[in-house]
Amino acid sequence: NNGTMGDKNASITGSWTFTEANKYQVVYNWGKDAPEGKAVPKDTGSYHKGDHYTVDTTYKKNDTVKGEKDGKKGTWTFSGWTDPNNGTMGDKNASITGSW
């Protein structure tokens, strides 16, 4: 009918296409310097843009561990996590940096 109504009911058919949303991860790193043997946390979750995630609490601000740096013994103090997304997934993996 090309948009012109004829003398009987018009039947219009539409269709949908499904596109899966991209999935992203939370990735932790120590940045510049960290005590030897302290592994960064692992987040095994899979997130979509706009999803909320919780920053790992294995290490909390002001936690201390004994360790060495440049061959000298001492104490490392954790300064905290930097999360540029503030717990909400953006459109790429969230890179969270821990500072000692």
81 vs 67: CA distance, rounded Å? 20
pTM for the full predicted model:
0.78
Average pLDDT of the chain to the nearest whole number: 93
Nearest C-alpha neighbor of 52 from the set 100, 94, 16, 15: 94
Query: What does the pLDDT read at residue 11?
Result: 84
Percent of the chain predicted with pLDDT > 70: 99
Place of tokens 């043997």: 37
pLDDT at 5: 79
1-10, 17-26, 74-83: range with lowest mean pLDDT: 1-10
State the pLDDT at residue 6: 79
Q: 3-class DSSP state for residue 67?
A: strand
65: alpha, beta or left, given left = phi > 0 and alpha = psi -120 to 50?
Answer: beta
pLDDT of residue 1: 60
Q: In the beta sheet, which residues pair with residue 69? A: 72
